């Protein structure tokens, strides 16, 4: 039977993961299938069990199932335990389910691709939801000078910062407490989805700073437009999507695809 993989989401029809993994498989000569499956909102575990029974070997997990996927895993990577969520499920030889999260390494690899030097950098991360929690450990592993988490709901930023303080100098607060300059500002809020901009101070960016939005689209997000007007180098999250997929692919197949042509093709298709 051909090894099967999928992305679980709800909704999931517009996911770019099937196209990305098909490109990786073609590039590395892997015989595998990868589809998009809309799991029922009330039975994610059942959807995974059924998929495994039909030859499923692994899956990506997207909104809104990342926390539920975390809970069904028999074993977890260290970074997934920190994130409290998984985006990658792997079926072990013994039938056990192993969970990992590749979002953070995906983000770090894409930042490096964009020429960002994280070591010693002053970092501001906007948002304190699951998307941000999922990337903090890999960001802190790059040894930034410090990292500030700013959020609309201040207590959430404070709690998140406290959870990661053992890994580096991490502070949490409201948007108004984000006193720059920062070398890198990452927007991990979902404000861009609604076309909103968090209320940020004007003097946020250092000379040569990068603004990164974990969202992407055919047009730059409101945040990236705002940042570019203030002189920052603006990068969207399409590369993070491709890099997190590449890391999942590596976990499943033991092959590292070349992400550059896949990102280029995906960009052209937006």
Just list the catalytic residues: 66
Between CA 216 and CA 248 the distance in angstroms is 20
Q: Alpha carbon of 49 to those of 23, 56, 68: distances in Å?
A: 27, 9, 13
Quote the longest CA-to-CA distance of the chain. 58
- Name the closest residue to ligand ATR (Cβ): 129
Q: Which is nearer to ligand ATR, 23 or 240 (CB)?
A: 240
Q: Which residues are annotated as a binding site for shikimate?
A: 15-17, 62, 87, 103, 216, 244
- Please, which residues have CB within 8 angstroms of residue 173's CB and are 6 or more apart in sequence? 148, 149, 150, 154, 157, 158
**129 Rama sector, left if φ>0, alpha if ψ -120 to 50, beta otherwise:** beta
Interface residue list for ligand ATR (CB under 6 A): 127-132, 151-153, 156, 189-191, 194, 196, 198
Residue 4 CB, nearest approach to ligand ATR (Å): 27
The DSSP output letter for 215 is -
Other CB atoms within 10 A of residue 31 CB: 7
Residue 197 CB, nearest approach to ligand ATR (Å): 8
Q: Which residues are annotated as a binding site for NADP(+)?
A: 127-131, 151-156, 214, 237
Q: Which is nearer to ligand ATR, 134 or 220 (CB)?
A: 134
Between CA 139 and CA 240 the distance in angstroms is 13
Q: Which is nearer to ligand ATR, 129 or 180 (CB)?
A: 129
Residue 260 CB, nearest approach to ligand ATR (Å): 27
* Stretch (H or E) spanning 259: helix 259-269
**DSSP secondary structure of 83-97:** HT--SEEEE-TTS-E
Other CB atoms within 10 A of residue 5 CB: 27
Q: Which is nearer to ligand ATR, 14 or 93 (CB)?
A: 14
Residue 182 CB, nearest approach to ligand ATR (Å): 17
């Amino acid at each position: 039977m051909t090894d099967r993989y999928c992305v679980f989401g709800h909704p999931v029809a517009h996911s770019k993961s099937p196209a990305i993994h098909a490109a990786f498989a073609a590039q590395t000569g892997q015989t595998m299938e990868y589809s998009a499956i809309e799991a029922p909102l009330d039975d994610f575990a059942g959807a995974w069990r059924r998929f495994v029974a039909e030859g499923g070997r692994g899956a990506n997990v997207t909104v809104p199932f990342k926390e539920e996927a975390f809970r069904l895993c028999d074993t977890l990577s260290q970074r997934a335990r920190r994130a409290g969520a998984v985006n990658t499920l792997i079926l072990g030889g013994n039938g056990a389910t192993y969970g990992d999260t590749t979002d953070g390494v995906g983000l770090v690899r894409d930042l490096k691709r964009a020429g960002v030097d994280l070591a010693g950098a002053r970092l501001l991360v906007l948002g304190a939801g699951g998307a941000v929690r999922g990337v903090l450990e890999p960001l802190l592993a790059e040894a930034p000078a410090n990292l500030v988490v700013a959020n609309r709901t201040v207590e959430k930023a404070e709690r998140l910062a406290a959870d990661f303080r053992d890994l580096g100098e991490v502070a949490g607060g409201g948007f108004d407490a984000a006193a720059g300059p920062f070398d890198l500002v990452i927007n991990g809020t979902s404000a861009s989805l609604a076309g909103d901009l968090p209320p940020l101070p004007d003097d946020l960016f250092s000379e040569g700073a990068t603004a990164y939005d974990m969202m992407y689209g055919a047009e730059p997000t409101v945040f990236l437009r705002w940042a570019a007007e203030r002189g920052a180098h603006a990068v969207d999250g399409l590369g993070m999507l491709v890099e997190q997929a590449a890391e999942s692919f590596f976990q499943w197949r033991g092959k590292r695809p070349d992400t550059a042509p896949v990102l280029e093709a995906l960009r052209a298709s937006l």
